[in-house]
Chain A
Amino acid sequence: QKEVEQNSGPLSVPEGAIASLNCTYSDRGSQSFFWYRQYSGKSPELIMFIYSNGDKEDGRFTAQLNKASQYVSLLIRDSQPSDSATYLCAGLNDYKLSFGAGTTVTVRA
């Protein structure tokens, strides 16, 4: 079983819509979770991280964490064509970051 699993893509949304990305993790010792965005051929860049249950908002992005359900999500509001990328979910446990395979999002103009 993979430590971090993401909903299979690709995900296609129209411009201005909400993109919803989901991630589940198996290691209950995971302390914090990170969402990275990776454009094709580029390296991952951090969007946001979350370590407490509940919601965390940053601009058009909202991360949600539910430790009881071992579930993390990322909502992208008012999606823009520039949001088209692969989104990587990662969980941190014992200083080690484990990544999911990523979900590719395409925003249609």
Chain B
Amino acid sequence: EAGVAQSPRYKIIEKRQSVAFWCNPISGHATLYWYQQILGQGPKLLIQFQNNGVVDDSQLPKDRFSAERLKGVDSTLKIQPAKLEDSAVYLCASSFTQGFRETQYFGPGTRLLVL
């Protein structure tokens, strides 16, 4: 079974530029998550989708971050404009559904460096 795919794996941009990340979840997984992991910290949930609807985006900085999951499969996360503090690893995860026993499977992540 193929895992969660993410691209690109690395990205270096200058502040105020825009960047987009792509995620393809495990086939059949209805729930998709985007996390931000800053060095030395645990992942922080940015947004959670159930199919193509948003379940939780309370920690998404909506003035600069946006995300979509068209057709309930792939998802993109965009930052516009980027700030220095956005330097982090952006992890995408998916689960079959969103029950309390559901396991989230993580992709390899995208390492973003904002200069």
Contacts and interface: CB of A to CB of B under 8 A. Distances in A.
Interface of A: 4, 31-32, 34, 42-46, 49, 51, 88, 90, 92, 95-102
Chain B, interface SS category: loop
B101 interface: yes
A77 B103 CA distance: 23
A34 B105 CA distance: 12
Contacts of A42: 108
B43 interface: yes
Contact of A100 (B42, B98, B101): B42
Most buried by A among B43, B91, B105, B109: B43
A90 B42 contact: yes
Interface residues of B, number: 21
B43 A44 contact: yes
A92 B100 contact: yes
B48 interface: yes
A101 B106 CA distance: 17
A96 B101 contact: no
A5 to B, nearest CB: 10
5 smallest A-B Cβ distances: which pairs?
A: A99-B42, A43-B106, A31-B100, A95-B98, A32-B100
B14 interface: no
Given A92-B100, A96-B56, 20 more contacts: A4-B42, A34-B103, A42-B108, A43-B107, A43-B108, A43-B109, A44-B91, A46-B105, A51-B100, A51-B101, A95-B48, A95-B55, A95-B100, A97-B104, A98-B45, A99-B42, A99-B43, A101-B40, A101-B42, A102-B42
A99 B43 CA distance: 6
B38 to A, nearest CB: 10
A88 B42 contact: yes
Contacts of B33: 97
B42 A49 contact: no
B8 to A, nearest CB: 15
Most buried by A among B42, B91, B106, B108: B42
